[in-house]
Amino acid sequence: MSGLNLDDFATLIERPDPGVRRDAEERRTRLGPPAGALGRLDELGEWLAAAQGTVPVKPVDRPKALVFAGDHGVAELGVSRGPAGGAVELVRAALDGTSCGAVLARRAGVELRVVDMAVDCDPGELPEEVTRFRVRRGSGRIDREDALTAEEAEQAFRAGMAIADEEADSGTDLVVLGDLSVGGTTAAGALIGALCGTDASVVTGRGAFGIDDLAWMRKCAAIRDALRRARPVLGDQLALLAATGGADLAAMTGFLLQSAVRRTPVILDGVVTAACGLVAQRVAFRAPDWWVAGQASGDPAQAKALDRMALNPLLDHGVTVGEGTGALLALPLVQAAAALAAELPERS
């Protein structure tokens, strides 16, 4: 491996400014609605103020929806309702504006950026701005082989860091993070199971579109076998992502950590982003302070990961589709919290 030292993140990542947060809490006592009347919107407004380092908080007017895309070899086992190698169709729908995430992003006036990390298609089938960070065509079958080589894992991780820098440099003030994948929830379940020390059955969900009992059993067996391969490398997060993650998950992990370095707040979507967050927390324990969980998808692995990161989802509507959809649904709440904290007048 080259000079990438994950230990640096623990030093570089600071918590959102606690002094600013106290100032925001104190200012809230002077606003019209009594304490508690706005529920979690108060907490969100204070979190944003601390992240921005300013009171009153500034409006969230330059959010970006960002989805990382990839195929996972484990999908060959029939662990998903989506076909193996089917991520390219999800990407095309997002680019065409016909996916759930694209519809919600358009409705919210938010730009949707798609990043292909390991889609199983010829790169010429997709726009160059989508494929320019691609690491490989599909990821390995994690029940029996590594998802990535060590070099590919570092390349993907660094790509995520570079994208975080691009977004911060362009003025993005909040990121809605999601994934477009087939087999990604299986990889996510393996990562979460390994990091939480649980059996496969505890972290095996029904996936984005729901699977029947036989497919669930196949998925549970795949996660069980992946856990056997993950446990020996638990002390090395890049090696863990190479063994049982994938290029899209490695990139999202790098993105989350570098976004925390750059003080860019993030809304997490479902189980895949939660898994990446859990890996990132193992690298730098303060990193989750820069994120909120947009929604509870009902996936048991997501619930396990969010509990470990002490993140309480903003919404619980049973949305499992992925694509950043659940996080996009939560975005108006975050924007509303910022607007109320900034625009409500102080009592005279």
DSSP secondary structure letter of residue 289? G
Q: Which two tokens stand for residue 348?
A: 């005279």
CA distance 183 to 161: 23
46 is catalytic: no
Choose, from 14, 145, 323, 343, the residue flagged as catalytic.
323
Cα–Cα nearest to 93, from 74, 112, 107, 118: 112
Compute the half-sphere exposure of residue 57: CA atoms within 13 Å on the CB side of its CA.
34
CA distance 130 to 113: 8
Task: Collect contacts of 41-47 with beta carbons under 8 A, ≥24 apart.
Answer: 41/333, 41/336, 41/337, 41/340, 42/337, 42/341, 43/337, 44/292, 44/314, 44/333, 44/334, 44/337, 44/338, 45/337, 45/338, 45/340, 45/341, 45/342, 46/21, 46/341, 47/16, 47/21, 47/265, 47/292
Cα–Cα nearest to 247, from 179, 343, 315: 179
Give residues with Cβ within 8 angstroms of 83, minimum separation 6: 75, 182
CA distance 76 to 18: 48
Residues designated catalytic: 323
